[in-house]
Structure 1
Amino acid sequence: MSADGWSSVLVLGGIRSGKSAFAEALVASAPSVRYVATAVGGEDDPEWRGRIEAHQRRRPQSWTTEETGADPARLATLLAEAKPDDTLLVDDLGGWVAALLDPANQPNDDVATVTALAEAVRSCAARVVVVSPEVGLSLVPATPVGRAFADALGTANQALADACDRVAFVVAGRPTWLKTGAAEPGIVTDVQAEDSTAEVPAAPQHDAMTAAMTAAVASATPAKPLTFGEADRTDRADADAPIPRDTVIEAGMDLPLPDGDAGPDARDRLERVDLPGAGIGVLIEAVEFAAGTQATATPRPWGRVRVLLFDGRHDGGAAAGADPQDSERRAAEAEAGEGALARLAATADADIAVVRVPASGAMEDGPVLDAATVDAALRQGWELAFAAADDGRDALIIGACGTGTDAAATAVVAATTGTEPVAVLPRVLVPGGRYDDEAWMRRCAAVRDAMHRVRQEPRGAKDVLAQLGGADLAVATGAVLGAAACRIPVLVDGPVGIAAGLVARDLSSQSRHWLLLADAGRQELVRQGADVLGLTPVLELGLDLGEGANSLAALPLLRSAIALAGLLPVHPALLATPGDGGLSDDDAEFIEPEPDGPGPASV
């Protein structure tokens, strides 16, 4: 067993429960991972191929893939051959059982094969995480083949649960530990989460550079904050299971999820409200999102919103064609309540916190941050989100005006999703509406050299920030995590927000569910990164006003849709009696009226 308490973990969950993402987060900090794919067949099924490709895009490039395919015995062989410094992720046991039951592998002693696999996991020298479907909560299959699969998988799950050090059950992205030990770092059990006397590791001491960045971020204050009445305040003190402010930021963090029922309930309610037309179109996605994050089928529009405007500088080729003085001018304008961003913020009843961070190194030459600075930046972003919650802000918007951020975000997206950088790196637009293609090529070269430099480096979330991301992306990542901890939605619309969302997802899979993509704009980087995050743009306006400004421009429309959905009553025609909540599904069932007189003659 390793120093932090586990060598093997079984992750159970239903279809689309988030079990694979949780398992990937458990091994995200490993220098390299051997991903064992058990699926076989499906070459003629486009939908199945799409699922496999989605899994492939999530894997860092440092991971290698082994396929057991139609040979179930190969899995035990891989486990037996693994070295102590290896990390194996097996996804999933359902594919392995399907191959085991294949007629081509019969006759076969299936029980003996399962027992051998459990023993291979128990005696494996490497770290092992096994993902498996939990089918025991569904109905008994109606076919002999289905029953055989359910029985075999249930037997395999029980055998693996006994063999593994830890067992987690994932439901709607929320893990519950079924088998665990006491006081183990990195894995929080239900008992530990409820124990208010548990000690929290003290924050590490950082060097002078870290302290300078901490001071720079802590000094950020909202520019010309707006005032609101007390009736508009959101009382977050009564929220269930509040996340401690001093929570350690690390891979596998357990953060809240939006309410899984409120969103669909809000969608269903919209079919009955007193709207003069056929509905609110694509804006229903914003209503459903707001309902889930507010845990109510009648959400209210976001009252107070804060824009976190990150002003960071990236050295080297990432900043080719950029003017640092122009970046500073835009940040100063936002602080003074001037410029496009500030005017949009005033229209949208939002305030702006300008967050200046120290410069990050040239990604092509070496790491852009040290590990201590990454931890400090994540913590400061976390604190910014908690400060917004303390100030009663209902939502956050990620904005950026630094130099070289597009290239840094491109490198982060490429490292976390496998996207080809040259296909998504935004073009360099200079004043006057002209594109500087020479500067774009220099940025491409910087990203290419950086990706080549880190090809053998670890691809954990913090490693990516240290090697490629920089201070502004690290603070933005911490803000996304902190917002999820405070149950505050985050509107993203540009490269920094998308890159921060991807890194935050690798630290806590729940964080992505608090992100809303108001408009994807015209950048392919945003679209591809959002697709991996599972974010669909609510609007297709094609805005290109600058990161953060796009969301501010769309915010009034989103608020209007949420207000209509939450405030309008049920249509009178759907009321059973005046003042009731509307007809239920049973009440609304069509009842054929009694005929008035003889009907048509039948022959």
Structure 2
Amino acid sequence: MSRLNLDDFSDLIERPDSGVRRDAEERRERLVVPPGALGRLDELAEWLAAAQAAVPVRAVDRPRVLLFAGDHGVAGLGVSRREAGTAHELVRAVLEGGRPVSVLARRSGVPVRIVDAGLDCDPELLPEEVTRHRVRRGSGRIDIEDALTVEEAEQAVRLGMAIADEEADSGTDVVVLGDLSVGGTTAAATLIAALCGTDASVVTGRGGTGIDDLAWMRKCAAIRDALRRARPVLGDQLELLAAVGGADLAAMTGFLLQASARRLPVILDGVVTAACALVAQRAAFRSPDWWLAGQLSGEPAQAKALDRLSLTPVLEHGVTVGEGTGALLALPLLQSAAALVAELPERAGDDEAKADAGDELREASDR
């Protein structure tokens, strides 16, 4: 098998149909509610219409929460309040309904799918449908060693691509993308700092667990050291993911690229998904047109990445828990936007004007 070249996606991914978006905008101007009165809901509906290539926009009735799971060796440095190698406990808690994303998904009737890309646990601890895709057990400590081999990084990217195909083929109409990881925000901040050309201190946040000052300093030092290893391979996205990413991040990057190629809209969650989006954008500059930023978490690296991606978050609630929770909170707004523009009637005057114009045309043809 020849080595995967992520730059090939630049030719595969097209922008959503701009003509359809213009049609959606024109139709919106004719509705009974004046343009602008619904605020950003108008923009969300027009974005979705372009992604669907449909006017009026179709309802979002088959969404799915998709969570990629993995452990990161850098967590052994104490950069998280969670112990290294315990991401499987998060996975188990989500499956048992005891995490925020579980509650929200259950309340809104959205199915949750978890893909183990690199958990550091015995596969027998979790259902086979979760663990069967695993690329490797855990990822390397990125401050001193590669997270993956290049071959493993490619395998993880191809895994994400395959999951995107499965979701598109099954009829999923919007994916809420998130992660279940320990140490993942450290790897994500490293990727963002490397791609944005900034220092470790600028991107180091408190993570989803709210670390104390000492752990923050350890995290900042780990990102600083990892950055030294990332910069020499910035020209190759696959080598970058191998050096300082991880199996879950590489899989998410592959998913985002293939989902864009398959015209499948995605709502991004926090800093980890933002980092993967930034890597994907580097490979295919049109791909961000298929994504929404669900929320602004307050993580400095996420804000940096979203600015580079030119994505404006739908919500700003400071949700740092990860797991797709913040993105899932944005889903009802997207569904509401679609329902409003699809179901609101057009102004009566517009209908009368159309009828009058039709009568005039018929009279002219009779003459």
TM (normalized to structure 2)?
A: 0.84
Q: Residue 21 of structure 2 aligns with which residue?
A: 263
SS state of the match for residue 367, structure 1? coil
Alignment of 1:46-125 (within 5 A): none
1:361, 1:369 within 8 Å by CA — same for their partners in 2?
A: yes
> What are the superposed Cα offsets for residues 208-241 of structure 1, whole Å, 9 maximum, x if unpaired?
xxxxxxxxxxxxxxxxxxxxxxxxxxxxxxxxxx
Alignment match, 2:150:
371
Which whole-Å deviations, capped at 9, do the CAs of 1:20-77 have from their partners, x for residues lacking one? xxxxxxxxxxxxxxxxxxxxxxxxxxxxxxxxxxxxxxxxxxxxxxxxxxxxxxxxxx
Deviations 1:214-269 (A, max 9, x none): xxxxxxxxxxxxxxxxxxxxxxxxxxxxxxxxxx5531322232111222332332
SS at match of 1:456: helix
**Letter of the 1:467 counterpart:** A
Asked if structure 2 preserves the Cα contact closer than 8 Å seen for 1:492 and 1:498, the reply is yes
CA 1:266–1:277 in structure 2 vs 1: closer, same or farther (change >3 Å)? closer
**Deviation of residue 577 (structure 1)?**
4.9
* Post-superposition CA distance 1:516-544 (Å, at most 9, x none): 11222322221210111121123334434
**Aligned counterpart for 1:554 among listed residues 330, 342, 357:** 330
Q: 1:477 touches 1:503 (CA, 8 Å); kept in 2?
A: yes
Aligned to 1:424: 203
Unaligned runs of 5+ in 1: 1-201, 205-247, 585-603
Shift of 1:278: 5.7
Name the CA distance, whole Å, in 1 between partners of 2:36 and 2:233. Answer: 54
Query: Of 51, 54, 67, which aligns to 1:309?
Result: 67
Query: Per the alignment, do residues 395 and 272 of structure 1 end up closer, same or farther by CA in structure 2, a change over 3 Å counting?
Result: same
1:343 aligns with 2:99: no
Matched, 1:477 2:253: yes
Distance 1:489 1:390, change over 3 A: same
Residue 251 (1) aligns with residue 7 (2): yes
Within the alignment, does 1:320 sit opposite 2:79 as a pair?
A: yes
Supply the distance in 2 between the matched residues of 1:308 and 1:382 (Cα, whole angstroms).
13
Alpha-carbon deviation of 1:324? 4.2
Aligned-residue offset at 1:281: 0.4
2:44 aligns with one of 283, 286, 304: 286
SS in 1 for 2:55: coil
Percentage of matched positions with identical amino acids:
34
Give 1:203 deviation, angstroms.
6.2
Partner of 1:447: 223
Q: Which has the higher helix share?
A: 2
Structure ranking higher on relative contact order (CA contacts 8 Å, 6+ apart): 2
Which residue of 2 is the match for residue 501 of structure 1? 277
Q: Which letter does structure 2 place at the counterpart of 1:462?
A: L
Pairwise CA distance, 1:566: 1.9
Shift of 1:454: 3.8
Please give the alpha-carbon distance, in whole angstroms, between the structure 1 residues aligned to 2:153 and 2:36: 49
For 1:67-114, what per-residue CA distance to the aligned partner results, in whole angstroms no more than 9, with x for missing partners?
A: xxxxxxxxxxxxxxxxxxxxxxxxxxxxxxxxxxxxxxxxxxxxxxxx
* 1:382–1:481 CA contact under 8 A, matched in 2: yes
Contact 1:324 1:402 in 2 (8 A): no
SS in 1 for 2:202: helix
What displacement does 1:480 show?
A: 0.3
Q: Residue 352 of structure 1 aligns to which amino acid in structure 2?
A: V
Instruction: Check the 8 A contact 2:94/2:102 in 1, yes or no.
Output: yes
- Is 1:527 the equivalent of 2:286? no
TM-score, with normalisation over the residues of structure 1?
0.52
Cα RMSD for the two superposed structures:
2.4
Indicate the structure (1 or 2) with the bigger Cα radius of gyration.
1
User: How many pairs were matched up?
Assistant: 335
